[in-house]
Amino acid sequence: MRTGWFLLCASGLALAACTASEPSDASDARDANGADDASLPPAEQADTIDAPDASAPLDEQVEEQLGRILDDPVEAEPVDLGVVAEAGDARAAWPLVDLLRFVGGDEQFAGDLDDALAELTGHRPEHDEVAWVAYTDALLASDVAAPPDYLELKEAIYLERDATWAPFFDPRADLDWRAVAWGGVGRDEIAALDDPPVIQAEDAEHLEDDDVVFGLRVGEEVRAYPRRFLEVHEMANDTLGGRRVAFSYCTLCGAPIPYAVDDIEVVDEPLELRTSGLLQRANKLMYDVQTESLFDQFTGVAVSGPLREAAVELERLPVTVARWEDWREEQPDTTVLAVPGRRGAERELLNYPGTLRERRDADGPVFPVGERDGRSDEAVVVLGVETPRGTSVAFPVEEATDALEAGEVVRDAGVQLESEDGGLLARAVDGGPELPAHEAFWFAWSQFRPDTELWER
């Protein structure tokens, strides 16, 4: 019996992408077997993948082979990949990509999957690419439809890795299941900070002046959340200014977003949010403990479960990204998260190195996102703002900051930026109210706000 090919990260605190930065095992396996892939273009050049539309039936033999995945995902090797590939229906690539995502040390099986995917898509990943990421990007960029019963196939494969994901595979979910991927950890393997200890600014000996903090103002109370803490935990459930707040941070998107979770009519208690271990287009999918509904971290919209049925959308709060020295000087009464200490009852928490942004996330997406918006470099950090009239605009942070320091007016789409608390604040023009705004990498903001305007200096 085939065992052990579902890849397990070495630690639950692997920061959500423990395998994504490594070269493709599948590509290495093909090199070892002497395969000639010179005739195939790179997978990123994916604008030519043709496939039937979603309603077309699968070839009976292909349907039979893929059906074997449902019988036993761990024993998926008996699937005749040659039959699937020779049929030439690119839709069949989707469950094969999901299998490839979880292949562990079995180079032969990974190589067979890679060959089948290359034949189905007409593309081969570059040697420095992660194969499943490259194929997924190629399929998404060509908008290749998923095969019939794809959700059932994906669910079988994913629940073999983590059975606690079962409530999330809601057939009524508002999700593009093709773009949903494992983020490298299981459900709750990244421990949220619940009611984290806080101290006054003058007692914060654990922070350096240049440390980046996320500053939050709710009512009359202000608090700083060190970025390096949220790089590790990704979620903090806290009380500030008399409100219950869930502060989420998607490291992959560079998006710190606090949400108010205490004024939701369909639940009796404030929501408590956690990390699901799943992503959609490199964006964190979080869930609430009470109903096990999935939420899109970037939009705050419930996308599965009872809260999706109730059309719940969380209230976004403004956040300031600043150096600790600047935030402390502008907000001397601020509190700040203390070092949390222990994770659970016994295990020492990992150190907070604060290097994830530098060594992984700032170079562009490491998980599939599909087509990119080429108006700006994908790794540029922007301040994204939704306007009162429902449109959105993105301001490149570095350019906007330089412009304000030079005394220029930074304004677009009815939004004007100001320098405040060591960071950027967005207001409606002509002295209007502060608007919810948050930073993100351009690739993330533009894919979730595809109609966004982009300010240019």
User: What digits encode the pLDDT tens for the residues 383-416?
Assistant: 999 987 889 999 999 999 999 999 999 999 999 9
Residue 128, burial from CB neighbour count under 10 angstroms (0-12, 13-18, 19+): exposed
Most confidently modeled of 67-76, 339-348, 429-438?
429-438
- Position 18 scores a pLDDT of 38
Q: Which pair of structure tokens corresponds to residue 301?
A: 């919209």
**Residue extents of the structural domains in the chain:** 25-161, 193-348, 372-454
Give residue-wise pLDDT tens across range 363-385. 778 899 988 899 999 999 999 99
- 269 vs 360, residue with greater confidence: 269
Across 198-208, average pLDDT? 94
Q: Is the sign of the CA dihedral 403, 405, 409, 413 positive or negative? A: positive
Distance CA 424, CA 286 (A): 27
Of 77-81, 259-263, 331-335, the range with the lowest mean pLDDT is 77-81
Look at 11 and 230; give whichever has higher pLDDT: 230
Q: How far apart are CA 21 and CA 358, in angstroms?
A: 13
Where does the pLDDT of residue 23 fall: very low under 50, low under 70, confident under 90, or very high at 90 and above? Answer: very low
Choose between 208 and 34: higher pLDDT. Answer: 208
pLDDT band with cut points at 50, 70 and 90 for residue 103: confident
What is the per-residue pLDDT across 413-457, written as a single tens digit (0 to 9) for each?
999 999 999 999 999 998 888 998 999 999 999 999 999 999 999
| CA proximity to 302, closest of 246, 252, 385 | 246
Rounded CA-CA distance 153/62 in Å is 13
Asked if residue 358 has pLDDT above 50, the reply is yes
What pLDDT does residue 120 have? 96
Q: What is the pLDDT of residue 1?
A: 31
* pLDDT tens by residue, 130-167: 999 999 999 999 999 999 999 999 999 999 999 999 99
pTM of this prediction exceeds 0.85: yes
Q: How confident is the model at residue 215 (pLDDT cuts 50, 70, 90)?
A: very high
- The mean of the pLDDT values for the chain is 87
In this prediction, residue 356 carries a pLDDT of 64
Q: Residues of the chain with pLDDT > 90: what percent?
A: 72
Tell me the mean pLDDT in the region 287-292.
97
- For the packed helices 60-71 and 93-102, what is the interaxial angle rounded to 10 degrees? 30
Residue 43 confidence (pLDDT): 58
Tokens standing for residue 141: 């960029």
Average pLDDT over residues 8-36: 38
Q: How much is the average pLDDT of 210-232?
A: 95
Does residue 39 register a pLDDT over 80? Answer: no
How would you classify residue 282: left for phi > 0, otherwise alpha for psi between -120 and 50, otherwise beta? Answer: left
At residue 41, does pLDDT exceed 90? no
On the CB side of 308, CA atoms within 13 Å amount to: 20
Q: Which residue has the tokens 């630690």?
A: 11
The model's confidence at residue 180, banded by pLDDT at 50, 70 and 90, is very high
Predicted pLDDT at 33: 36
Q: What is the pLDDT of residue 345?
A: 35
Per-residue pLDDT, 390: 84
Q: Are 286 and 295 in contact (CB under 8 A)?
A: yes
Question: Is 4 a residue whose pLDDT tops 90?
Answer: no
Order of strands across the sheet that contains 423-428: 411-412, 415-420, 423-428
**So what's the pLDDT on residue 26?**
44
What is the percent of the chain where pLDDT is above 70? 84
pLDDT score for 106: 74
Residue 31's pLDDT is 42
Tell me if 107 sits within 8 A of 23, measured CB to CB: no
C-alpha distances (whole Å) from 39 to each of 104, 110, 141, 315 are 28, 20, 21, 51
**Res. 114: pLDDT tops 50:** yes
pLDDT at 276: 97
Q: Which pair of tokens denotes residue 442?
A: 């351009």
